[in-house]
Amino acid sequence: MDKKRIAVPLVCHGHSRPVVDLFYSPVTPDGFFLISASKDSSPMLRNGETGDWIGTFEGHKGAVWSVCLDTNALRAASGSADFTAKVWDAPPREVDKSPGSVRTVAWMHSDQTILSSCTDMGGVRLWDVRSGKIVQTLETKSSVTSAEVSLDGRYITTADGSTVKFWDANHFGLVKSHNMPCTVESASLEPKYGNKFVAGGEDMWVRVFDFHTGDEIACNKGHHGPVHCVRFSPGGESYASGSEDGTIRIWQTGPLTHDDAESMAANGSVGQVKVSAEEVSRKIEGFHIAEEVKTKEKEAGNE
CA distance 204 to 273: 30
pLDDT of residue 34: 93
Q: Whose CA is closest to 10, among 240, 291, 266, 186?
A: 240
Q: Name the phi and psi angles at 281, rounded to 5.
A: -65, -30
Does this model's pTM top 0.85? My answer is no
3-state secondary structure of 193: coil
Task: Say yes or no to pLDDT of 264 above 80.
Answer: no
Omega of the bond prior to 91 within 30 degrees of 0, cis? yes
- First-to-last alpha carbon distance for the chain, in angstroms, is 68
pLDDT of residue 216: 95
Q: Whose CA is closest to 158, among 143, 74, 67, 78?
A: 143
Task: Determine whether 29 is exposed, middle or buried from the number of CB atoms within 10 Å of its CB (0-12, 13-18, 19+).
Answer: exposed
Task: Say yes or no to pLDDT of 196 above 90.
Answer: yes
Specify the DSSP class assigned to residue 92: -
Specify the DSSP class assigned to residue 183: -
pLDDT of residue 302: 52
Residue 191 near residue 235, CB atoms below 8 Å: yes
- Sign of the Cα torsion 210, 208, 197, 255 reads negative
- Residues 233-239 have a mean pLDDT of 93
CA distance 104 to 146: 6
Which of 23-27, 112-116, 212-216 ranks highest by mean pLDDT?
A: 212-216
Question: What does the domain layout of the chain look like in residue ranges?
Answer: 19-89, 102-252
| pLDDT bracket for residue 260 (50, 70, 90) | very low
CA distance 137 to 116: 9
pLDDT of residue 136: 81
Instruction: Assign a CATH topology to domain 102-252.
Output: Methylamine Dehydrogenase; Chain H (2.130.10)
C-alpha distances in angstroms, 13 versus 17, 240, 246? 11, 13, 7
pLDDT of residue 256: 42
- Sign of the Cα torsion 283, 86, 69, 112 reads negative
Q: What is the CA radius of gyration of the chain?
A: 19
Residue 59 backbone zone (phi > 0: left; psi -120 to 50: alpha; other: beta): left
Q: Whose CA is closest to 79, among 92, 94, 69, 66?
A: 66
Residue type for 154, please?
R
Low-confidence winner among 61-70, 96-105, 194-203, 251-260 (lowest mean pLDDT) = 251-260
- Residues 160-165 have a mean pLDDT of 90
